[in-house]
Amino acid sequence: MAEALNAMKKNKILLLVSSIGVFVLLAAAAIDENFLKQWRRIQASGSHDGEPIPVQLRQVVNMGLRTADRCVSCHVSMGPGEDGVTGNALFKKHPPVVHDPAQYGCTVCHGGQGLATEKDDAHGTVHFWPEPMIPAAVAEAGCGTCHAAPGVPSRDTLRQARATFERLDCGACHRVDGRGGTIRPDGGGMEGPDLSRVGITGYDAGWHGKHVAKAAAADKGPWKTSFAPVPEADQGAVAMYLAVRNSAPRLTEAKSVFLSYGCLGCHRLSGVGGDEGPDLTRAGERDPGQTDFTHVPEQQGLDNWIAEHFRSPGAVMTGSKMPAVAAPESDIQQLTMFVLSLRRRELPGAYMPKDRIAVARMGQREFAPDGATIYGAFCAGCHGLNGLGRTSGDETFPAIANPEFQKLVTDRFLTETIARGRPGRRMPGWKKEGGLRPEEIRVVVEHLRALAGVTGRTEEDAWKANGSTAEGRKLYAAACAGCHGDKGQGAKGPSLGTRAFLEVATEGYLRDTITKGRPGTVMPAFGEPSTVHRTLTPGDVESIVTFINLWKGK
Amino acid sequence: MSPSTEQRPPLAEFWDNLRAAPRRILDTAFRGGSPSTDRTRSTFVFGNVFLHLHSARVHRWTLRWTATAGLGIATTAAFLITLVTGVLLMFYYKPYPDVAYQSIKDIHFVVPTGRFMRNIHRWAANVMVVTVILHMARAFYTAAYRKPREFNWVIGMGLLAVTLGLSFTGYLLPWDQLAYWAITIGANIAQSPREVTDALEITEWFDPGGFQRALLLGSEVVGEEALIRFYLLHVMILPLVLVGLMSIHFWRIRKDGGLARPVDADQRLEPEPGVYPVFTQAPEKTYQLAAVVEGRTPAVGRGPENTVPSMPHLFYAELGVLMLTTLICVALSIVSDAPLKELANPSVPENPAKAPWYFLGLQELVAFSAFMGGIGIPTIVLAGLGLIPYLDRESEGTGLWFGGPGGWPLVKRALVVGFGASILVEAFVIRYGWIREWFPSVGQLVVTVLNPGTLLTLIYGAYSVWLVKRYRSTRAGALGLFTCFLCGFLVLTVVGTYFRGPNWDFYWSPSQWPRH
Amino acid sequence: MRLDPEPLPRRDWLGLASLWSAASALAFGFIGAMRLPKAAVVAAPSKALKLTLPESLPAGEAFVPPGRAMAVFRDGEGVYAISTICTHLGCVVKPNAEGFECPCHGSRFDHAGGVVKGPAPRALPWLQVRLANGEVHIDEGKTVPSGTKAKQA
């Protein structure tokens, strides 16, 4: 049986070699799994009260949020009941925050892949995980997963409010966002309560009266030395400042910048805003795996993508009609942080914070109710933060805060124009679902008046044009039709032939605008001698106004 | 009882039996003692449920590595590996959308040995698909399907289909993007008979496509209903069918007289010095009397048989292949993790959404016509394969590689034709498009009937008919056709795997894919 | 005529080595596989909880936090929590006038959790309680000696 035995010998060798191979590979896999895992080595370096900690997978489970975060397998001391573990830089304690990480878990705020137990996977920088960790520098963006932070003022308003708060030296006794506050000489804690979260927890609205009473009753100590009655105007600023103390000061700051660039003129946030651009309510949840990084210099990181998108929207996102945001780099970073924070996850009822409910269901605004903030949030994108208009590409957005214009128009004209928009122009009507409330439009008008520094007309100009229609038609065709269209349909200039416009524009307003022009726009003053356009006499103007008013009946 | 035992203490016998129990358990477990002689080896095989699948003696021809390359055993081994690892994975897998994905993440990250087991499961499944196809090719090229093994070949077709079905159903279970969109496409292929019924405007009355899809998904979309159905198919129905078919497949090998070998196998083998007759003379009785089966029984009264005892000869061979397959699966598992993409998102399609590699040839065909590519051509191919043993009634070359008229030179030419035709058709379609691109208004039925897939099938068919005429042999035609289809499968699979990118456009390499 | 003509070589080292290596590889794989069913992490929420006791809770009256197997008491000496998981076979015991009773196998416990009757082998464990800012912090994972009551610092 030589050949048969020989064949069997070959089979035995095959069996021997394969078996040894399987054994070796299994042993390698076993060693890798049981000894070489990253988290094992990290935990092996840890000790608690001098005792080595048990090396095992650890996790924070939150049944309500349906998360199981294994981050604490490496960041051990952040786990439940594990504080005091030392021996590795990773065992740093979590800075004190409102939400206990041992209860809420990690990923709900920080993003990343909680189920993972290896660094790259856990930090979400791997290819197939849609939610990488929020960069530590903008960690507060994570608050946006659940919170909406309503009532934030625009940047200048916020700055003024903070300046007021600092000028009044409230920080002498009160601690805010880790700054200020004096320790009592007897070691009994702060002189005043910490105000870092009063925007959420609320505070005694009658604080000022009580402060005054206590200061009056005191004969020494800080009540005597550090408090003086606060003027009424400053009390409003302090209230505005305290309303947004939500222990996320940097996110609030970023949101105030967002509310100063007029983004809501085109985008909706929590259902409020314009309709030209996409809804931003969950814009921070973009999946990097589904995002084109070709035109982003750093080529990675959602923050880089968003920042570059602000710098040149069309290049980063093909077909984007958004104009580039002309802003200093620091503002771009703030805007980026805010957009990153727009995560707004669906939450189980018990975890839905009050502010989210207020914003999503009870109509509370994300922005502060003052005119400057609403103007900054809705109008500044086109009309400029100072109201002096803007040119973008071949589009010109009119200046509306120049005194010449403001002096001409009545409050009704402004209110109606904001509410109904300008048909045929980019200006949308803000009296719409997801638009502005009458009260909000009113404060915007007030803000415009304040910007211009004029009170404007309160009474409507009763002047009635009574010129020649035929003459007016001729003059209109010669002087006006080039910009406003031969039928008043508008071209380079706005349309004049719409009822919406003519119902609010009085004849006196038309006369004055034609005669004096619109500074900040291409509309010239036809009443003044010029070499580039025809000069119109008051009679000519009256004829034109008469002619234009014919369209009212249409 | 003898008086002496009566005088022993009453419990003595009990104690003796208790002491002897371990040895007796061993003795009874392996009846007949150590397999060191022919008789005890035969007893070992008879008495062992696993080895009982084999006859006690096996022909030397089938033990040569070149005879079968151990592909059948390798397939079985891969199946056993998937079975063991699959059962283990069931400890943690939860068949419910989203939760399923999380449970796979858990298996990957925290379950002890979980990642390794899943990798092995996935690789063994791939190995099984490869070996089952190679096993089929071996059986075909050695003409092993011929009488009396025709029906075993048909069962083999069934095993191929069930193997692919197991792979396909397992593909959905992770509930990631890859799974979701591959299954969406698969379910719509099941619905693709509508392509024809719609064109004939009879869908309203006769809708086999819609029925198949509804049966598969249990709902309108790929959702929890579909997942639980796929799970049931994957862990219960298909494995049971597979085990049933495998049992018949193995049992028939015995009943068909072992593996196919040339009639002159004994002459072809080197004479063995010291070969002795198994039976020096024909026994009086035949097996036929004992077992009521038709046909010849292999070892009766035919003198020297060139057989050797299955134990240990076949035992070592099979165990060797089993361990080799395990080695391959384990090694692949260490090198590469099973994929897991993002959580399934019904609103963002994967682009490109690719099926498992062994279906990418079909997906390439499906890109021409869903019905023809997904159902028509596969049905034609499977039916053709199943019919081969009934059309080829010749006997030349049984048991020999590329046996039959034409032989290896014919296969070489068929390789040229098979590769050439498929590459040319692919190149033409990629360069110039197809009817739809030229005449956008053309009816769907025209595209269904006349598309690159059917064209390729026609070319191969015509070539094979020509071979039948030229060699006056069905076997020659079958050799050509099978080779051509193998080439076509390979070319389409490679194109689908490596050269198709987003929107199923052609790219020379994935590095040229546009970024989303 | 020989019917048993080809005995194996007496010492088949190669065969034995290959068989043993195959057996050990498979056994090794089997041991590895058997580690799989034992879960490395348990999907359970933190055992610690915070609650506020109703002002009107009478001394010695049980307060059962919803969804938790424990009874919290307040009396003149402080606040304490007793696990209501029967030490016999894990049924949840019910507080009653005499202490606790188990519905499954009839174990009875007194007010302090001590076994009075039935198959329960040990007294009901007392859980760690801390008081802070008017809230009661209880850790189900940590037991304290019976009789340990937490007082407001």
Sorted by where each begins, the domain ranges of chain C are: 48-144
Query: At which residue do the structure tokens 């057989």 appear?
Result: B307
- Domain membership flag for residue A376: no
- Check residue B280 and give its pLDDT: 41
A2: nearest CA in chain B? B272
From A452, A482, A504, give the residue that closes a domain: A452
Instruction: Take residue C51 and report the two structure tokens written for it.
Output: 């609650």
Q: Are residues A416 and A486 in the same domain?
A: no
- Check residue B174 and give its pLDDT: 94
- Domain membership flag for residue A477: yes
- Domain membership flag for residue A78: yes
The predicted-structure confidence for C16-69, as pLDDT tens digits, reads as follows 899 999 999 999 999 999 999 998 888 777 777 778 888 888 888 889 888 889
Using the beta-carbon criterion (under 8 Å), do C22 and B323 form an inter-chain contact?
yes
Please say if the pLDDT value at position B298 is more than 70: no
Q: Which one of B314, B342, B343 would you mutate to disrupt binding with A, by most A Cβ within 10 Å of its Cβ? A: B342
The predicted-structure confidence for A112-145, as pLDDT tens digits, reads as follows 999 999 999 999 888 888 889 999 889 999 999 9
- Residues of B in Cβ contact (< 8 Å) with A14: 320-321, 323-324
How far is CA A127 from its chain centroid?
28
Using the beta-carbon criterion (under 8 Å), do B37 and C15 form an inter-chain contact?
no
- Check residue B295 and give its pLDDT: 52
- Check residue B284 and give its pLDDT: 43
| Residue range of the domain that includes A438 | 381-452
- Check residue A188 and give its pLDDT: 63
Please say if the pLDDT value at position B387 is more than 90: yes
Put simply, whether B198 touches A (Cβ < 8 Å) is no
- Residues of A in Cβ contact (< 8 Å) with C138: none
Cross-chain CB nearest to C7 (options B37, B117, B323): B37
Share of chain C above pLDDT 90, in %: 43
A56: nearest CA in chain C? C40
Using the beta-carbon criterion (under 8 Å), do C36 and B326 form an inter-chain contact?
no
- Check residue B293 and give its pLDDT: 52
Put simply, whether A213 touches B (Cβ < 8 Å) is no
Q: Which helix (H) or strand (E) holds A213?
A: helix A207-217
Share of chain B above pLDDT 70, in %: 91
- Check residue B279 and give its pLDDT: 46
Put simply, whether A62 touches B (Cβ < 8 Å) is no
- Mean pLDDT over each residue of chain A, to the nearest integer: 87
Q: Is the ipTM of this complex over 0.90?
A: no
Cross-chain CB nearest to A22 (options B102, B105, B323): B323
From A245, A273, A301, give the residue that closes a domain: A245
- Domain membership flag for residue A372: no
Chain B nearest-CA distance from C35, in A, is 6
Mean pLDDT of A447-465: 80
Share of chain A above pLDDT 90, in %: 31
Contacts within 8 Å (CB) and 24+ apart, B242-245: B242/B79, B242/B159, B242/B162, B242/B163, B242/B166, B245/B155, B245/B158, B245/B159, B245/B162
Q: Are residues A71 and A164 in the same domain?
A: no
Residues in C whose CB is inside 8 Å of some CB of A read: 6, 14-15, 17-19, 21-22, 24-25, 28-29, 32, 40-41, 43-48, 139, 141
Contacts within 8 Å (CB) and 24+ apart, B460-465: B460/B417, B460/B418, B460/B421, B460/B484, B460/B485, B460/B488, B463/B414, B463/B417, B463/B421
Q: Which of A239-253, A315-329, B259-273, C105-119 has the lowest mean pLDDT?
A: B259-273
From A426, A452, A478, give the residue that closes a domain: A452
- Rounded CA-CA distance A423/A433 in Å is 18
Mean pLDDT of B478-501: 93
Chain A nearest-CA distance from B483, in A, is 31
Please say if the pLDDT value at position C1 is more than 60: no
- Residues of B in Cβ contact (< 8 Å) with A10: 65
- Check residue B5 and give its pLDDT: 53
Cross-chain CB nearest to A11 (options B274, B317, B348): B317
The predicted-structure confidence for B405-457, as pLDDT tens digits, reads as follows 889 999 999 999 999 999 999 999 999 888 888 888 888 888 888 889 999 99
Q: Are residues A277 and A213 in the same domain?
A: no
> Residue C96 — φ and ψ, nearest 5°?
-140, -170
Put simply, whether A290 touches B (Cβ < 8 Å) is yes
Mean pLDDT of C89-106: 91
Among candidates A71, A74, A106, which has minimal Cα distance to A90? A74
pTM attached to this predicted model: 0.85
Q: Are residues A129 and A181 in the same domain?
A: no
- Check residue A502 and give its pLDDT: 82
Q: List all residues of chain B from 107 to 126 with a beta carbon under 8 Å from chain A.
A: 109-110, 112-113, 116
CATH number at residue A206: 1.10.760
Please say if the pLDDT value at position B83 is more than 90: yes
Query: At which residue do the structure tokens 């449970």 appear?
Result: B103
CB pairs under 8 A between A and C: 61
- Check residue C2 and give its pLDDT: 40
Mean pLDDT of A532-538: 83
The predicted-structure confidence for B181-238, as pLDDT tens digits, reads as follows 988 888 888 888 888 888 888 888 888 888 999 999 998 888 999 999 999 999 999 9
What subunits touch chain C, counting only 3 or more CB pairs under 8 A?
Answer: A, B
Put simply, whether B342 touches A (Cβ < 8 Å) is yes
More confident of the two residues A213 and A395: A213
CATH architecture of the domain C48-144 equals 3-layer Sandwich (2.102)
Q: According to CATH, where is 1.20.810.10 located in chain B?
A: 41-261+309-350
- Check residue A477 and give its pLDDT: 87
Query: At which residue do the structure tokens 């794989």 appear?
Result: C29
Beta-sheet pairing, A47-48 with A85-86? antiparallel
- Domain membership flag for residue A30: no
- Rounded CA-CA distance B77/B324 in Å is 9
The predicted-structure confidence for B343-380, as pLDDT tens digits, reads as follows 888 888 887 888 888 888 888 888 888 888 888 999 99
What subunits touch chain A, counting only 3 or more CB pairs under 8 A?
Answer: B, C
C-alpha separations of A170 from A156, A245, A253, A287, B466 in Å: 20, 14, 20, 43, 100
How many domains is chain A partitioned into structurally? 5
Chain A nearest-CA distance from B123, in A, is 15
Q: Are residues A309 and A338 in the same domain?
A: yes
The predicted-structure confidence for B28-67, as pLDDT tens digits, reads as follows 877 767 777 777 777 787 777 777 888 888 888 888 888 8
B322: nearest CA in chain A? A15
Chain C nearest-CA distance from B508, in A, is 42
Alpha helices in B336-372, H assignment, sequence order: 360-366, 370-371
CATH class of B41-261+309-350: mainly alpha
B276: nearest CA in chain C? C5
- Residues of A in Cβ contact (< 8 Å) with B342: 128-130, 287, 289
Q: How confident is the model at residue B271 (pLDDT cuts 50, 70, 90)?
A: low
Share of chain B above pLDDT 90, in %: 49
Using the beta-carbon criterion (under 8 Å), do B91 and C36 form an inter-chain contact?
yes
- Check residue C121 and give its pLDDT: 93
- Check residue B41 and give its pLDDT: 77
CATH number at residue A289: 1.10.760.10
Mean pLDDT of A500-505: 80
Sign of CA dihedral A413, A419, A423, A424: positive
Query: At which residue do the structure tokens 């859980």 appear?
Result: C127
- Check residue B285 and give its pLDDT: 45
Q: How confident is the model at residue A32 (pLDDT cuts 50, 70, 90)?
A: very high
Cross-chain CB nearest to B91 (options C8, C29, C37): C37
